[in-house]
Amino acid sequence: MRPEVDRIAQPWGDRTPYGRGETWPLRVDSYLEPGATADAVERWVPAASLLHSNGDAMDVAVAHGRIVGVRGRPGDRVNRGRLGPKDLFGWQANQAEDRLTTPLVRDGGRLVPCGWDTAMDRIAARTRELLDESGPGSIGFYTSGQLFLEDYYTLTVIARAGIGTNHLDGNTRLCTATAAEALKETFGCDGQPASYSDIDHADVVALFGHNMAETQPVLWMRVLDRLEGPDPPRLVCVDPRLTPVARRAAVHLAPRAGTNVALLDALLHEIIRTGRIDRDFVEAHTVGFHELTERLSDCTPAWAADICDIPAGKIVEAAEIIGGAERLLSTVLQGVYQSHQATAAACQVNNLQLIRGMLGRPGCGVLQMNGQPSAENTRECGANGDLPGFRNWENDAHVKDLARIWNVDPSRIPHYAPPTPALQIFRYAEQGSIRMLWITGTNPLVSLPDLHRIRDILGQERLFTVVQDLYLTETAQLADVVLPAATWAEKTGTLTNADRTVHLCEKAVDPPGQARPDLDILLDYASRMDLCDKDGHPLVGWHDAESAFEAWKECSRGRACDYTGMTYERLRDAGGIQWPCAQDAPDGIERLYTEGIRWAAPDDCETYGKDLVTGASVSETEYRALNPGGKAVLKAAEYVPPHETTDETYPLQLITGRTLYHFHTRTKTGRTPQLNAAAPQMWVEISAAEALRHDVAEGDLVEVTSPRGSVRGRLRITGIRDGTVFLPFHYGYWDTPAGHRPGAQGARAANETTITDWDPVSKQPLFKTAAARLTLVERSDGTVSPAPTTTASAPVDPHKVPPTVGGPAAVARQSGGAL
Ligand SMILES: Nc1nc2c(c(=O)[nH]1)N[C@H]1C(S)=C(S)[C@@H](COP(=O)(O)OP(=O)(O)OC[C@H]3O[C@@H](n4cnc5c(=O)[nH]c(N)nc54)[C@H](O)[C@@H]3O)O[C@H]1N2
Ligand SMILES: Nc1nc2c(c(=O)[nH]1)N[C@H]1C(S)=C(S)[C@@H](COP(=O)(O)OP(=O)(O)OC[C@H]3O[C@@H](n4cnc5c(=O)[nH]c(N)nc54)[C@H](O)[C@@H]3O)O[C@H]1N2
Ligand SMILES: [Mo]
């Protein structure tokens, strides 16, 4: 990479074009802090990105015991040397001055520093009291998609077999619960069918509610390089915003938010009507085609055009591209997963692939994407509402098998009901049945919907909360015990990206102060609690990351996510390896389902499924009758309008999401100078027509109000569809001046406005379907909106706003939190 390329102004860097079926060329990106040179680097330590799900492999540069930069790993299958802006700059947050360096406990209403023994003893004592008084159901664990596999597996064993609680879930519920659920509904089991290398072979790539350019920028570089090369693919983009993906699409459909199912039903209808289906594939590998066809008979493009508010001709055009594809790759993310018919819509994308026979071949498949770096591990390890190794909680043989591995009685593992989803855990805490909540690696006081309510729940006296984090986040400020964690590059472990590639991240430097790796904290708790198996041996029989990995391998043996062919040694030598990886396929398997559907048979499947509209469970008997041969299930779904619709008081559809430069609640990217300067403060997006209707202009301070609450930000006029307002959800309160507080006029966390509601099937909350109004607070005095210009928030009139750059100009523009 040319060093003079400003990777804030040009997030995707230079192009390295390539043709269909060719190998993606190498390009090595790196960033060293000012003053550091490659010669002065003492060690390069392997890792993969922790700020999204793409799994970009990199080496961390260490000099004098400090991280001084990063460099992409050219040999790795995922990124072939490339890094995105967050990968390049985000590591600086590890060195922030306000890292937590000692445990804190609440004494007399205040959090005060203490030693590890005091903090851990307090947690163990409270656990014992509650177990005695109220039993395991009074204890809940809410974890993350940002720790390592070894952490989740250990937490799962502790929570499920040690404490015996069913209340363990991850923030992956907000993130990839629908990806998991859609894969389970269609293929009987979780597991990403496709591979990133399918981008090299596809002639059509369809992106549904996925702003890949901003959220997986390195994957987008691969798409851009194909677009610039010979025989480029055509893109279909479904997104109400004019994202960088939409700008490069052959067809951009910008539907009303929450209408994905209507649109997908029409696409399926049109493809079936015109006979562009692979009948042999459908016959050999699926059940349910007849029902699907019947259900779709009235779902014409004209019908959907009305619901989605897009021209019928455009839907036909998209159906022609998808229907005519030789090699079709589809990707799905939050524009689908965070709406009221999330699983229903995601399954229709699976159906598109199946009826066209586009599965298990190069260039053909679906990426039901993940978001967080290790969301996949949360799912595999059973820390996300499933049993480890994609086992079925309703199948006694699966529970028995797990009990054998853990050497406990099957009755020790709660399986009387599905594992409790996150929002239900908070509901139990609200009602008072959950009395202790241990939060690891997530910041619910900014990231959960309907923050007023979450603040009340976590603020309760009677709820004992433990927060394990790197910083004193909004959530940590309300905790009873705060545990300082070591993070990426300060601890060792593995993470698995969205295309099943496993990377080893090794410890490069010491954590600050007394901060400890998450795994060590969990092992300490297991030992203080004296958790034992049925022979009286320690339940958690491992002592470090590598031995935890070895234990997990046994749990994964023979399952879809088989890790038994991997070792730390092999990951060190080979870089990323995809699962399944067993002795018979030591290099991993690139695509699932190359020889038919493997995990949907009634005895093997992870779930018997649910009704896509109501979420009601399908019984084992029904499933055996429906799918005796273990094929893929083509599940139909009828469109149901969003629960909260617009009206005179709340005339705009409210959607929320991300920008390229920030990660979630900004605990890391807000502490990274280049990234924070690129997007320093909250903003609000509407279209030019909507601005005219509201008599507001670029840079005006506006307020967005929903039935739950309001937030303020400066207005940016973008190419978003009319009738829609977009809020980035990154901005909380840890770095705002005193006036900007929830409830006060300066509230800025988008989740003040979002609704307590979820998809009935995956239980994923709805961050992208609600109603709101917009009002003017104060005209701009010439100040422009702080929104980036390089992204979906690009202004319609580029002359009015200075471009986002990463040099001194951007730093000067940094407003440091003032609106
Ligand atoms: N820069 C950056 N990258 C990230 C993250 C980050 O915070 N910052 N987070 C990571 C994580 S955890 C995740 S989950 C992913 C998320 O990655 P994405 O899903 O790509 O990101 P979002 O911005 O949440 O939503 C994507 C798009 O959905 C569109 N959308 C909204 N409503 C609808 C609808 O009804 N239908 C359709 N079709 N589209 C709709 C929005 O306009 C938005 O452009 O990103 C990962 N990568
Ligand atoms: N309105 C709206 N809300 C949303 C979304 C949306 O699109 N719109 N998206 C949702 C999605 S997809 C997601 S994934 C969530 C994300 O929501 P959160 O997970 O709550 O957001 P993060 O800021 O990533 O919080 C992670 C926390 O873990 C800490 N951390 C980082 N590394 C480590 C580590 O190694 N160990 C420990 N112990 N802690 C660590 C960080 O400092 C941070 O406080 O937000 C959801 N909320
Ligand atoms: Mo996510």
148 and 292 part of one domain: no
User: Using an 8 Å Cβ cutoff, are 150 and 157 in contact?
Assistant: no
Contact (CB, 8 A) for 7 and 85: yes
Q: How far is CA 88 from CA 83, 458, 674, 675, 790, in A?
A: 6, 35, 10, 10, 17
AA letter at 163: I
Closest Cα to residue 100, out of 440, 459, 468?
468
Tens of pLDDT along 472-492? 999 999 999 999 999 999 999
Distance between CA 153 and CA 818 in Å, rounded? 42
Are residues 335 and 312 part of one domain? Answer: yes
Does the Cβ of 610 fall within 6 Å of ligand 1?
A: no
Convert the pLDDT of each residue in 172-203 to its tens digit.
Answer: 999 999 999 999 999 999 999 999 999 999 99
Q: Does residue 196 line the site of ligand 2, with CB under 6 A?
A: no
> Ligand 2 centre from 526 Cα, in Å?
25
Q: Would you say the CB of residue 730 lies under 6 angstroms from ligand 2?
A: no
Per-residue model confidence (pLDDT) at position 640: 97
Cβ(89) to ligand 1 under 6 A?
no
Strand partners, 493: 505
* Token couple for 772: 């709101």
User: At CB < 8 A and 24+ separation, what contacts does 320-325 make?
Assistant: 321/204, 321/234, 321/236, 321/250, 321/251, 322/204, 322/206, 322/236, 322/267, 322/271, 322/352, 322/356, 323/270, 323/271, 323/274, 323/276, 323/356, 324/204, 324/276, 325/202, 325/203, 325/204, 325/356, 325/358
Task: Give residue-wise pLDDT tens across range 695-751.
Answer: 999 999 999 999 999 999 999 999 999 999 999 999 999 998 765 667 656 799 999
List, for residues 602-660, the tens digit of each pLDDT value.
Answer: 999 999 999 999 999 999 999 999 999 999 999 999 999 999 999 999 999 999 999 99
Name the residue with the closest Cα to ligand 2, atom 15.
447
- Residue where a domain terminates, one of 587, 603, 633: 633
The answer to whether residues 218 and 51 touch, using CB atoms and an 8 Å cutoff, is no
pTM as predicted? 0.97
Write the pLDDT tens digit of every residue in 347-379: 999 999 999 999 999 999 999 999 999 999 999
Q: Residue 260 Cα, ligand 3 centroid: separation in angstroms? A: 19
Do 464 and 524 belong together in one domain? yes
Q: Mean pLDDT across the chain, nearest whole number?
A: 96
Ligand 2 atom with minimal separation from the 470 CA: 42
Alpha carbons 96 and 89: distance in angstroms, whole number? 13
CATH number for the domain harbouring residue 485: 3.40.50.740
> Does the beta carbon of 208 sit less than 6 angstroms from any atom of ligand 1?
yes
Residue type, 92: Q
Digit-coded pLDDT (tens) for 220-276: 999 999 999 999 999 999 999 999 999 999 999 999 999 999 999 999 999 999 999
Say if ligand 1 is within 6 A of residue 793 CB.
no
490-542 pLDDT, tens digit each: 999 999 999 999 999 999 999 999 999 999 999 999 999 999 999 999 999 99
- For ligand 1, atom 2, name the residue with the nearest CA: 215
What percentage of the chain exceeds 70 in pLDDT? 97
What SS3 state is found at 578? strand
pLDDT in tens, 538-556: 999 999 999 999 999 999 9
> Do 339 and 438 fall into the same domain?
no
Distance (angstroms) between ligand 2 centre and the Cα of 490 equals 19
Atom of ligand 2 nearest to the CA of 473: 44
Ligand 2 pocket check: which of 92, 155, 332, 443 to mutate, most ligand atoms within 8 Å of Cβ?
443
Residues 276, 400, single domain; the answer is no
Give pLDDT, residue 818. Answer: 39
Measured from the Cα of 333, ligand 1's closest atom is 19
Cβ atoms of 301 and 270 closer than 8 Å: yes
CB 330 within 8 A of CB 359: no
Atom of ligand 2 nearest to the CA of 440: 38
What share of the chain in percent tops pLDDT 90? Answer: 95
Nearest CA to ligand 2 atom 3: 447
- For residue 113, the number of C-alpha atoms closer than 13 Å in the C-beta half-sphere is 6
Residue type, 230: P
The count of domains in the chain is 3
Q: Please indicate whether residue 471, judged by its CB atom, sits closer than 6 Å to ligand 2.
A: yes
Asked whether 443 lines ligand 1 (CB < 6 A), one says no
Does ligand 1 have an atom closer than 6 angstroms to the CB of 90?
A: no
Token pair of 422 as six digits: 């996150």
Q: Whose CA is closest to 106, among 119, 121, 115, 120?
A: 119
Q: Is residue 401 located within the same domain as residue 385?
A: yes
Tokens encoding 366: 């679906």
Does residue 319 share a domain with residue 300?
yes
Task: Please check whether residue 721 lies inside any domain of the structure.
Answer: yes
- Direct distance between the N- and C-terminal alpha carbons of the chain, in angstroms, rounded to an integer: 36
Looking at ligand 1, which residue's alpha carbon is closest to its atom 31? 335
Q: Which domain holds residue 662?
A: 652-815
The residues, ordered by sequence, that sit 6+ positions from 419 with a Cβ below 8 Å of its Cβ are: 166, 167, 168, 169, 382, 385, 386, 387, 393
Nearest-angstrom CA–CA distance, 425 and 270: 42
The answer to the question of residue 86 being in a domain is no
Shared domain for 435 and 562, answered yes or no, is yes
Return the DSSP state at 361. B
Q: Residue 4: what pLDDT? A: 74
Domain contains 382: yes
User: Has residue 819 got a pLDDT over 70?
Assistant: no
Q: State the closest ligand 2 atom to the C-alpha of 483, by its place in the atom list counted from 1.
A: 38
352 and 313 within one domain: yes
Tens-place pLDDT, residues 651-698 = 999 999 999 999 999 999 999 999 999 999 999 999 999 999 999 999
Name the residue of 100, 155, 171 whose CB sits within 8 Å of the most ligand 2 atoms, as the mutation to test its pocket. 171
Q: Is any ligand 2 atom within 6 A of the Cβ of residue 753? A: no
Give yes or no for residue 443 CB within 6 A of ligand 2: yes
Residue of 148, 333, 379, 470 to mutate, ligand 2, most atoms within 8 A of C-beta: 470
Residues 353 and 287 in one domain: yes
Question: CATH number, domain at 774?
Answer: 2.40.40.20
Q: What is the mean pLDDT of residues 57-67?
A: 97
440's torsion region: left (phi>0), alpha (psi -120 to 50) or beta?
A: beta
The CATH number assigned to the domain holding 216 equals: 3.40.228.10
Same domain, 330 and 187: yes
Tell me the three state secondary structure of residue 484.
strand
The predicted pLDDT at position 231 comes to 97
Chain centre distance of CA 309: 28
Residues in the chain: 819
Q: For 91-132, write each residue's pLDDT tens digit.
A: 999 999 999 999 999 999 999 999 999 999 999 999 999 999
Among 215, 645, 755, name the best residue to mutate to test ligand 1's pocket (greatest count of ligand atoms within 8 A of Cβ). 215
**How far is residue 807's CA from residue 137's CA, in Å, rounded to a whole number?**
53
Inter-residue contact 681 to 819 (CB < 8 Å): yes
E strand residue ranges, 73-218 = 104-107, 110-113, 139-143, 168-170, 204-208
Query: Minimum-distance ligand to the CA of 448?
Result: 2
Q: Kindly give the distance from the C-alpha atom of residue 332 to the centroid of ligand 1, in angstroms, as a whole number.
A: 10
What helix, strand, coil percent values describe the chain, rounded to 5? 35, 20, 50
Kindly state whether residue 99 falls inside one of the protein's structural domains. no
Give the pLDDT score at 800: 87
The pLDDT of 753-781, averaged and rounded, is: 97
Ligand 1, atom 29, residue with closest C-alpha? 335
Kindly state whether residue 74 falls inside one of the protein's structural domains. Answer: no
Is 22 within the bounds of a domain?
Answer: no
- pLDDT band of 79, cuts 50, 70, 90: very high
- Which amino acid is residue 646, in one-letter code? T
Closest listed residue to residue 654, CA positions, set 662, 644, 663, 664: 644
Examine residue 681 and state whether it is found in any structural domain, yes or no. Answer: yes
Lateral strand order in the sheet of 204-208: 251-253, 234-238, 204-208, 328-332, 365-368
Alpha-carbon distances, residue 492 vs 47, 504, 548 (angstroms): 9, 8, 11
Q: Ligand 2 in contact with 610 (CB < 6 A)? A: no
- Per-residue pLDDT tens digits for 266-317: 999 999 999 999 999 999 999 999 999 999 999 999 999 999 999 999 999 9
Nearest CA to ligand 1 atom 14: 371
Q: Which atom of ligand 2 is nearest to the CA of 175?
A: 12
Cross-sheet strand order for the sheet of 30-32: 30-32, 66-72, 57-63, 43-48
- Mean pLDDT throughout 208-227? 98
| Residue 53 domain-assigned (yes or no) | no
Question: Is the C-beta atom of 485 inside 6 A of ligand 2?
Answer: yes
pLDDT at 807: 57
783 and 704: one domain? yes
Ligand with smallest separation from the Cα of 98? 2
Of ligand 1's atoms, which has the minimum distance to the CA of residue 256? 35
For residue 485, give the ligand 2 atom closest to its CA.
38
Q: Is the pLDDT of residue 816 over 60?
A: no
Question: Using 50, 70 and 90 to split pLDDT, how confident is the model at 809?
Answer: very low
Residues 6+ apart with CB under 8 A from 701: 712, 713, 714, 715, 776, 777, 778, 779, 780, 819
Residue keyed to tokens 């004592």: 125
